[in-house]
Structure 1
């Protein structure tokens, strides 16, 4: 597998597993759309620490998980030593034998090179193979992103230059898929407000986990100050009864390789 990407490469796997279990818990609904069958070969693209890979394997599918972050793959191998995991980049990976399905949960909003990712997915599938994915769509975390932008711009930091995310509309992403030879058979864009764990610390934990790209050049004190500013801005709309909610909006896609 190749390993070249703009994805965060230093994921805190303990923070990911202990505070952000919603990432794979919500992904279990996507498994119903995948509908894996015994004997099928399936690639879990962006497998994280392997929870959904293991769910796919339980039905008898032959599944391999790949992820850009070595820390995630190391943890996945510890969690599920009987399964196959490898380091790979969603925008630039190759596999030896085409598979029946490519499954991807909460990954593709990290891949700004959408054309490259789709090309890699296309070559990984057998003719008639299916691509099933869910990720951040147009309007995802809009309130959080705007609060981050404002707090950073106040410090003369260009948030746009640091933004690691790609949140397409249905029309945009379906068009990209069709241009590369996919038949899009299902597409949906929907709000999915997501309760964050750890009560009052929930938004801080979320920012540290998923928005660390904005803080690379900042001191610890500057980071704390900006996060506090973001929280103050968001509290009236995303904080209720001691808990934070992230304003998620998801795109769900099923496409068949022609």
Structure 2
């Protein structure tokens, strides 16, 4: 779920994530079903975040000899995951490591073809954003899997959080210009065709893939909390160029606009909603 800047800065805070986006693991029911966890599975979780899903999966693995190893580039997220696994008494089943997901093939203990399944939820749209990282990422997933092993993922798909994405880019463009705004954008939201081609070109057989529009109700910290957490890299760029005061103004502007766009007065359940689009799939190493 996490990514870092080119400078290695950790953009994530686990407590802020749990307040602004705790729905991410809660709404992973379908992709977990596609993962089809068996009690003896050896699983690698890429972008594991705070480990909530890992602890959930451990309930099945504890019935057999299975293990799940989570990697994430955020030290804050990994620290929380390790503490929670220890508190739950599953730290022998769930292990965690701070690791850039594009470096999988450089880790001999991972790139040994010993994993039955590779899993990723809500992380690939960050990981795949730099075009130069994509080949290394897919090669790494291939390297860690056994032959016929499964890669199961869910990520932001084409059209994901379009209202947020548009507002962030507009706020930056007005201050820094479109070229700088695009460069600051940390997201890549592909469609089924792009992902199917990428998988096939790296010797994976696509078993199934779909893109789903899934409007999602905001979390406890509301639209403002989501903007401050997920839009951090956009606003960091404003602060870098124009200072902290302008950054704060840019954040307020985005929150005010999105308070109208995401407002739930016309939604039967009320509250504020975000237009999530999920791309999920299962591919087999061939």
How does the TM-score come out when normalised to structure 2? 0.83
- 1:89-108 residue pairs with structure 2 within 5 A? 89-93=100-104, 94=107, 95=110, 97=112, 98-108=114-124
Cα offset for 1:110? 0.3
Alignment pair present for 1:86 and 2:97? yes
The residue that corresponds to 1:237 in the other structure is: 261
Cα offset for 1:5? 6.7
1:239 alignment partner, SS class: coil
- Which of 67, 71, 87 matches 1:66? 71
Is the 8 Å Cα contact of residues 91 and 120 (structure 1) preserved in structure 2? yes
The residue that corresponds to 2:31 in the other structure is: 30
Is the 8 Å Cα contact of residues 10 and 71 (structure 1) preserved in structure 2? no
2:103 alignment partner, SS class: coil
1:256 alignment partner, SS class: strand
1:38 alignment partner, SS class: coil
- Which of 268, 272, 275 matches 1:247? 275
- Which of 211, 216, 230 matches 1:194? 216
Question: How many residues in Structure 1 have an aligned counterpart in Structure 2?
Answer: 254
Gaps of 5+ in 1: none
The residue that corresponds to 2:183 in the other structure is: 161
- 1:2-151 residue pairs with structure 2 within 5 A? 6=6, 9-60=10-61, 61-81=66-86, 82=91, 83-93=94-104, 94=107, 95=110, 97=112, 98-111=114-127, 112=129, 113-151=133-171
2:27 alignment partner, SS class: helix
Q: CA RMSD in A?
A: 2.0
Q: 1:66 to 1:180 in 2, by over 3 A?
A: same
Cα offset for 1:8? 6.2
Cα offset for 1:75? 0.7
Q: 1:230 to 1:5 in 2, by over 3 A?
A: closer
Q: 1:228 to 1:25 in 2, by over 3 A?
A: same
Is the 8 Å Cα contact of residues 147 and 230 (structure 1) preserved in structure 2? yes
Is the 8 Å Cα contact of residues 28 and 52 (structure 1) preserved in structure 2? no
User: Cα deviations across residues 153-186 of structure 1 (Å, max 9, x unaligned)?
Assistant: 1213521010011111110111010001000010
Dislocated runs of 4+, deviation >3 Å: 3-8
Comparing 50-59 and 201-210, the one that deviates more: 201-210
Gaps of 5+ in 2: none
Is the 8 Å Cα contact of residues 4 and 11 (structure 2) preserved in structure 1? no
> Partners in 2 of 1:213 and 1:254 — Cα distance?
30
The residue that corresponds to 2:245 in the other structure is: 221
The residue that corresponds to 2:195 in the other structure is: 173
